[in-house]
A and B are shown apart, each in its own frame.
Chain A
Amino acid sequence: MSQVYTLNILVIDDDAMVREIVVEYLKSFGFVNITEFSESREALKMIQDTNVNIDLIISDWEMPSPSGVELLSAVKNNQQRKDVDFIMITSQKSMERLKIAKAASLGVNAYLVKPFRSQILKDKIWQVLGWDNDSKSA
């Protein structure tokens, strides 16, 4: 691994296999500070605890309460957290347009539809962080 990134990333998904893949993808990009949550309410506690430093949140949409949208709105309505980048993951194609519109209105930074390959996730992360495109090849 040529490069190591120390950003604090939360990965929230109640589905163990999806969470595992996303975390593995992140590790392959060079991220080392990853916190996983299978239960979104635990993630919400961490989001509300402003002593914890969070740089990026990657969350599933469809979860028992609080859902991904509720997490998003908790982040964007919190003065200390509103600048934290939020990437939403969903799988329901039929509702996609409606959902993108809703997520956009709440200030989501990027949006991914499952399944997606690692390069797509990497592009989105680099895009929301405003990093140089060259480092994609890293």
Chain B
Amino acid sequence: MSVAKKIQTGIQHESELWNHRILIVDDEKAIAESYKDILCPEDDNVIPMSSRSSRSKTKPLDVEQLGYKFKLVVVYSAEEALKAVKKSVLEGAPFAMGFFDVKLGSGIDGVELVKEIRKLSPDMLTVFVTAHNDRTIESIQNILGKNHANKWDYLSKPFSRGEIIQKARNFTSLWNLNKQREIHEQQILTLSDRLLGMERTNSASAVARGVGHEFGNILMQIMGKAELSLNKNEEGMRLGLEKVVEASQRAMEILDRFKDLTDHGDLELQKQSCSLREIIHGTLDLMEHQIKISGLKINLNTDSDYDVWANSTSLMQVLVNLIINANHAMGNGGRIDICISSESDDVIMTFRDYGPGIADELLYKVTEPLFSTKGEKGTGLGLAICKEIIEIEHRGSFKLKNHSNGGLVVEVKLSKLLRGS
């Protein structure tokens, strides 16, 4: 089943995925059996755990009409209870909840039993049932710990049919809703991982389109010059061939840059000393076509240059993303300033656009995956990827702020590498 399909489906109340399983632990058989009458008006929903279990005929109750079905396992001792829980976990069919008598004859009591069960099946929910306040709420809390406070409840004997049904309904629903939430959280994580991967490929394919255009032009020059030279004298042919060599050289350079950008391997191994200026200029070369088409004006202040220990592919990708982002923010014909500066041991690349900026209260949010101000244009991962590349892969800092005269300022800070070291 696809992830999207799974998300749509969720866990339906009537489906097989819905956990109806309840464990009953009471050393007084008559009471243990009475749970069956209340929760399972039909005998076949009770799974006999021991030969002693009674098969008394029961009358239908209102549980069915409420639309809830339960599957009960009834046991009479702590040992049997642990055995049943172990079995349920091994079979991949854990209990959603259990009703536990606090006093269980000799041996450990219901609360100690639950503490042991937590180790086997941490998600199982508990209702303690007691006749004489054997344990206070405080003492149960002390034994189970505060972290489990939302996983148990308490019921006094004699209980009414309604109380048992209500606790069974609430706790099985709670277990299933918790499970559903866990599954959804996992699915969202999987999806955002996938989107992250797609967005990385996307910035490469955006560049690929530009490169395709460049190659068309270059081949046009090679093919055309060669063909036209055929009908020329020796001098004309020589000039033509020079143009062919020139164009081939240009093609080779573009291909090298493009390989850099799409080459994802072990990033740790690929880090090397690189000049920030060369990375900036290389990216602009690669994006020349898009920049031209979208009428972007780029002002560079890269007179001072520093080396950084980095993966040039990743840094180029940051720049590609920033340029694409700025273009989306400003529309065609916008202006971008890129500047290299230095501050003690750090080198700083400041990237400013002249778009509307980002509302201050959203500034901290835009580097979160899936946040997008671009509507259908973006997946909202561009800036999140930039932040990840700079801060996680390069241990630098990636900060956003609005310029006082308008536009978004992105400040990328990386450790300076001393030249010659």
Contact = CB atoms under 8 A, between A and B. Distances in A.
Interface in A48-100: 62-65, 90-94
Interface stretch (B19-27, B161-169, B212-220, B276-284): B212-220
Nearest to B209: A92
A117 B212 CA distance: 18
Interface stretch (B8-16, B173-181, B289-297, B350-358): B289-297
Interface in B372-392: none
A118 B224 CA distance: 7
A37 interface: no
Contact of A116 (B220, B228, B231): B220
Given A17-B220, A21-B220, A114-B216, A64 B225 contact: no
Contacts of A28: 228, 231
A20 to B, nearest CB: 8
A115 interface: yes
A42 interface: no
A18 B217 contact: yes
A92 B221 contact: no
A115 B292 CA distance: 21
Contacts of A20: 221
A123 interface: no
Interface residues of B, number: 25
A121 to B, nearest CB: 10
Interface in A90-113: 90-94, 113
Nearest to B205: A94
A18 B293 contact: no
Nearest to A63: B293
Q: Interface size bucket, A side?
A: 20 to 34
Contacts, number: 67
Contact of B221 (A18, A91, A94): A18
Nearest to B332: A65
Interface string B213-250: 10111111111110110010000000000010001000
B289 to A, nearest CB: 7
Given A64-B293, A115-B220, A115-B223, A91 B228 contact: no
Interface string A7-31: 0000000110110111011001000
A114 B217 contact: yes
Contacts of B243: 17
Interface in B290-321: 292-295
Contact of B213 (A21, A91, A116): A91
A22 B292 CA distance: 21
A91 B219 CA distance: 10
Interface in B184-231: 209, 212-213, 215-225, 227-228, 231
Interface centre among A22, A90, A91, A93, by most chain B C-beta atoms within 10 angstroms, is A91
Contacts of A118: 224, 227-228
Contacts of A62: 213, 289, 293
B217 A91 contact: yes
A28 B295 CA distance: 34
Interface string A114-130: 11111000000000000
B241 to A, nearest CB: 15
B143 to A, nearest CB: 66
B327 to A, nearest CB: 13
Nearest to B222: A115
A26 B396 CA distance: 55
Given A62-B213, A65-B295, A117 B223 contact: yes
B247 A17 contact: yes
15 contacts: A18-B221, A21-B228, A62-B293, A63-B293, A64-B292, A64-B295, A91-B215, A92-B212, A92-B213, A93-B212, A113-B216, A114-B219, A115-B220, A115-B222, A116-B223
Given A94-B209, A114-B217, A115-B216, 8 more contacts: A15-B217, A22-B224, A25-B224, A63-B293, A91-B217, A114-B220, A117-B227, A118-B227
